Amino acid sequence: MKVQLAYGRSHVTVELPSSHTTIIEPAHLNGLPDEHRAVIQALENPIGAPALKSGIRPEERVCIVFTDITRATPNQRLIPWLLEYLEVVPREQITLLNGLGTHRPNTRVELEELLTAQVVERYRVLNHEPENPKELTQVGTTRDGTPALLNRHLIEADVRIVTGFIEPHFFAGFSGGPKGIMPGVAGLPTVLSNHGVHNIADPSATFGITEGNPIWEEMRDIALRAGRSFLLNVALNEQREITGVFAGDLIAAHQAGCAFVKDSAMQRVERPFDLVITTNSGYPLDQNLYQGVKGMSAGARVLKPGGTLILACECSDGVPGDSSFDQLLRSAATPEEFLAGLAQSKNTRPEQWQVQIQALLQRRARILLYSALPDEHVRASHLTPCRDIGAAVQHFLAQNPTGIHIGVLPQGPLTIPYLA
């Protein structure tokens, strides 16, 4: 059987033995017949809040948070529709704030790709600066006493609008909702505190869990300190078409969206697999290996201990090289050495959570990477290079000739499998 795996802006086709293979995909939902109309209706009939436009005066300052280049949110549609809806507000009163979290700033070309060139030309568009104290305002502390810092443009606004899309998240439960504020526009020390080693290791810090998840609960608490925020989140299918729109109260609208997404994205599996092939959902999520840990995490949920996982993740933007993630990977000779050092360290370093999760996955699985990265970069990341997924599968079958079960997640973490 031929299976198409999401990869970059297209796909890679792999020949797999149908007798051994189970395909795990989200329940397909058709895109909404009129996305624009659905968004406007949601803004006019929100969940747990009055219609967005009804409470806005022309003289008020509006801050709109949008997701960065690594996310699949259809910003190029949502943001122009939202700005059209807010035409009562003068353009100079509106700030579009790129919710980078701790990611790199996006270039003007990338912002034009995200928002359209016309929006970037006509409106004030800012990259969040998580390490610039002049751009941050304290709103209390985190649970461990670290200052809780949020972008001042969000705090100083009279109207806060948080946009994004909802999908299961490998340690925050679900993306979207309060995550657009924290870590989206939070200060680096705040993110480091929230993503600390003990929170990441908590068994409730995983796909599909919000309440009881220490990471998500703190994100919620800090986001609410910014003041009342209006949410505009969407759900997407594998073609990046909008399947649902959830607008209104930051928490109530997000809860409705999570329930909607959970029904389609989380798929029950009867037994674990010897070999799992997964992706990172293609572009834009598979631009680098840092994001690729999400695809690993999704596939590992249904992998037998000691099994093999193959991740298809293009990494067009590299690991990225010279990032904190890359430096941390290279700081230890093995994943176990990294985890041992982490247990003794009192400080959280940027992006250590991603290395921690990868290392924990490698305790129970051999991980191969099919990517555009040079083999030496893959090995420096403690992974095994894979240049031909089909050949790797045939080699695996030759070594294990009987009773082998293969699970495939063609859309990666757009599908979150769980064991019965």
Taking only the tens place, the pLDDT of each residue in 216-240 is 999 999 999 999 999 999 999 988 9
Between CA 109 and CA 124 the distance in angstroms is 15
Q: What is the 3 state secondary structure string of the chain?
A: CEEEEEECCEEEEEECCCCCEEECCCCCCCCCCCHHHHHHHHHHCCECCCCHHHHCCCCCCEEEEEECCCCCCCHHHHHHHHHHHCCCCCHHHEEEEEECCCCCCCCHHHHHHHHCHHHHHHCEEEECCCCCHHHEEEEEECCCCCEEEEEHHHHHCCEEEEEEECCEECCCEECCHHHHCCCCCECHHHHHHHCCHHHHHCCCCCCCCCCCCHHHHHHHHHHHCCCCEEEEEEEECCCCCEEEEEEEEHHHHHHHHHHHHHHHHEEEECCCEEEEEEECCCCCCCCCHHHHHHHHHHHHCCEEEEEEEEEECCCCCCCCCCCHHHHHHHCCCCHHHHHHHHHHCCCCCCCHHHHHHHHHHHCCEEEEEECCCCHHHHHHCCCEECCCHHHHHHHHHHHCCCCCCEEEECCHHHCEEEEC
Quick check: 334 pLDDT over 90?
yes
Provide the whole-model pTM: 0.89
pLDDT band with cut points at 50, 70 and 90 for residue 123: very high
pLDDT band with cut points at 50, 70 and 90 for residue 119: very high
**Domain ranges within the chain, ordered by starting residue:** 2-27+270-419, 35-264
Between CA 300 and CA 65 the distance in angstroms is 32
CATH class of 35-264: alpha beta
Mean pLDDT, range 405-414, rounded to an integer:
95
What number of CA atoms fall less than 13 Å from residue 14's CA on the CB side? 32
pLDDT band with cut points at 50, 70 and 90 for residue 70: confident
Contact 89, 58 (CB under 8 A): yes
Between CA 219 and CA 214 the distance in angstroms is 9
Q: Read off the pLDDT of residues 279-292 as tens digits, 9 standing for 90 and up.
A: 999 998 999 999 99
Provide CATH code, domain 2-27+270-419.
Answer: 3.90.226.30
Weakest mean pLDDT among 223-232, 298-307, 338-347: 338-347
Dihedral of the CA atoms 376, 382, 388, 393 (nearest 10)?
Answer: 160
Measured N-to-C along each axis, helices 352-362 and 289-300 cross at an angle, to the nearest 10 degrees, of 40
Instruction: Check residue 113 and give its pLDDT.
Output: 95
Mean pLDDT, range 310-318, rounded to an integer:
97
Q: Is the peptide bond before 147 cis (omega within 30 degrees of 0)?
A: no
Instruction: Check residue 182 and give its pLDDT.
Output: 98
Q: Read off the pLDDT of residues 185-214 as tens digits, 9 standing for 90 and up.
A: 999 999 999 999 999 999 999 999 999 999
Quick check: 299 pLDDT over 80?
yes
Q: How far is CA 234 from CA 45, 243, 260, 354, in A?
A: 15, 7, 10, 26
Instruction: Check residue 239 and give its pLDDT.
Output: 87
